[in-house]
Amino acid sequence: MIQHPQTRPITYWLALLAAIGVIASQLLDIPAAWHEHPIVGVIEGIQAAIFVVLAFFWTTSQARWPWIVGALVSLLAFGGIIFTRTVGVGGGKSDIGNWGEPVTVIAMVSYVLMMVVAFLHLKNPTK
């Protein structure tokens, strides 16, 4: 059942904002990630696609699973950023300590926003 846009809770709009941030940051970073570690580029492409699908379901259904998936993917991706910025991926050290890269900042903010919004929405889906 599709709700009229004015009746949607604020969590929908914030989730869509987070999805736009994730999609944009991943699509912008894919070429560089692919060049350094192709698997990271593939993962970023998959994340962007997942958030396109999630945005569709957030706007067309009232199901809980898109919110849960969004939070879990965000948690894993945020953990991945922490891992690549502290330990490195596959012996690559170029990202270690690189916390201020604009694409990384957008991604981290978007992941945290998604986790918080999903929690709030699942806690009280009518607000």
* Residue 1: band (very low, low, confident or very high) from pLDDT cuts 50, 70, 90: very low
Q: Can you tell me the distance from the alpha carbon of 104 to that of 3, in angstroms, rounded to the nearest whole number?
A: 33
Asked whether residue 2 is assigned to any structural domain, the reply reads no
Share of the chain above pLDDT 70, in %: 84
Q: Is the dihedral of CA 104, 108, 113, 115 positive or negative?
A: positive
pLDDT at 97: 63
Q: Can you tell me the distance from the alpha carbon of 60 to that of 107, in angstroms, rounded to the nearest whole number?
A: 25
* Residue 91: band (very low, low, confident or very high) from pLDDT cuts 50, 70, 90: low
Which domain range does residue 35 map to? 15-123
Asked whether residue 5 is assigned to any structural domain, the reply reads no
Asked whether residue 50 is assigned to any structural domain, the reply reads yes
pLDDT digits (tens, 9 = 90+) for 8-51: 788 889 999 999 999 998 998 888 877 877 888 888 899 999 99
How many domains would you assign to the chain?
A: 1
Asked whether residue 100 is assigned to any structural domain, the reply reads yes
Asked whether residue 71 is assigned to any structural domain, the reply reads yes
**CA distances in angstroms from 98 to 5, 10, 39, 81, 101, listed in the order given:** 39, 33, 19, 10, 6
Asked whether residue 8 is assigned to any structural domain, the reply reads no
pLDDT at 46: 92
Asked whether residue 61 is assigned to any structural domain, the reply reads yes
